[in-house]
Amino acid sequence: MRIARMFDAERVATRIEELSRALAEDYRDGALSILGIAEGSARFVDGLVAGLERHGLAPVVHMVRAHRTDGTALNSVELGPVALEALNERDVLVCDDIADEGKTLRAVLDLVEGAGAHSVHTAVLIDKHGAEREDLPLDYVGFTVGPFQVEPGWVVGFGMDLDGRFRELDWIGVVEDD
């Protein structure tokens, strides 16, 4: 198994800082809540929060457990409990690691949109552009990759994993079978 590097640690950090700056500008007047989806988004969320704090914002962070994969097999979406009352009257930014088919992100958006939030937007670290997916608003995107860059591999690193492996990488790559 080989991992081809797509974005090094410096590029990932720089891009998250750029997104933080844009978010700080867009949300400077609001009560921002960030809802991270599963373990995969945790490092992305942490980076965004650190950047937002450097720009004077203090978002409230919530996480929702979500599960859909078994290795590289995609199953139905299973969501854990979400404190929806905490999102009422707030600007909510739903963060995910990767927008692939979009089923997990769509399930969370459907849940949050009925929670009485002031606004709901999305941020994803990776937009797997060209993938067949749900109709989703992708408001803030870290990186866009085309299918030719990742097929038939699996995107890993910076929180994204393959069967629990490679999540700890500071860079983003694609696992290629030898």
Question: Which domains does the chain possess?
Answer: 8-145 (3.40.50.2020)
| Residue % of the chain over a pLDDT of 90 | 54
Q: Give the model confidence (pLDDT) of 10-38 as tens digits.
A: 999 999 999 999 999 999 887 899 999 98
Please answer whether residues 17 and 51 qualify as being in contact, where contact means their C-beta atoms are separated by less than 8 angstroms: yes
| Mean pLDDT rounded to a whole number for the chain | 88
Please determine, for residue 124, whether its predicted confidence score (pLDDT) is greater than 90.
Answer: yes
Sheet holding 2-7, edge to edge: 2-7, 172-176, 154-156
What does the alpha-carbon distance between residue 34 and residue 123 come to, in Å, rounded to a whole number?
Answer: 10
Average pLDDT of the segment spanning 46-57: 96
Pairing of strands 2-7, 172-176: antiparallel
Token pair in block for residue 177: 């079978």
Instruction: With a cut of 70, say whether residue 71 has pLDDT above it.
Output: no
User: Percentage of the chain with pLDDT > 70?
Assistant: 88
Q: Shortest CA distance to 117 belongs to which of 94, 100, 148, 99?
A: 94
Given a contact cutoff of 8 angstroms between Cβ atoms, the answer to whether 117 and 59 are in contact is no
Q: Are residues 33 and 90 in contact, defined by beta-carbon separation less than 8 angstroms?
A: yes
Q: What is the pLDDT, as a whole number, of residue 74? A: 56
